[in-house]
A = this chain, B = another copy of it.
């Protein structure tokens, strides 16, 4: 892939329900020429990387890449260590053990570098604050501040090409996100949401991510195409 390739937007694509919907929005609703980035950061649910590749292909993205980042060497999260992933837990007043220190900050920073090398002026991230599971780096005020930091700390920013952070799902409930994706023809059987899949790859059904997903489909009165372990 040439370093001089350009695109309109760089989309963070984990292969989960939210980021896949955000990509469908960028490609099919906005019509942007998108490159996608997935991150191999030592997450125990690395199976999501396969989902990311499937979704990128299904949505016609021809510049999808997986970047390695050593977050497991840093530690501090149930997603990258031997700490247990919490189950059947919906207390939004505390930041859960699945929080990964500075994850979106690191991912967006790398996406900003990638965007700069592609002359892309938009970064798309499927964060949302309604069912957001208590992560501080999914809040609008974080994205606003990050945009300002980019403006000051990158060549693109200094030269006047502002990089916009696009958060199309930020105020949507999970059921509304799914409704958006279905309307855009996204096949949710390609996506993967579970933090703690069984050895055969089936979602656990009980981690925060599974709970929100199942609740979203149920509220919408639609069947989730995934088969849960329990």
Contact = CB atoms under 8 A, between A and B. Distances in A.
A219 interface: no
A176 B74 CA distance: 34
A142 to B, nearest CB: 4
Interface of A: 3, 65, 67-71, 73-76, 81, 95, 99-106, 109-110, 112-114, 116-117, 136-137, 139, 141-142, 145-146, 148-150, 152-158
A9 to B, nearest CB: 16
Contacts of A157: 136
Taking chain A's interface residues, is the majority helix, strand, or loop, or is none over half, making it mixed?
Answer: helix
Contact of A136 (B74, B112, B145, B158): B158
A77 to B, nearest CB: 8
Contacts of A153: 102, 104-105, 136-137, 139, 142, 145-146
B146 A149 contact: yes
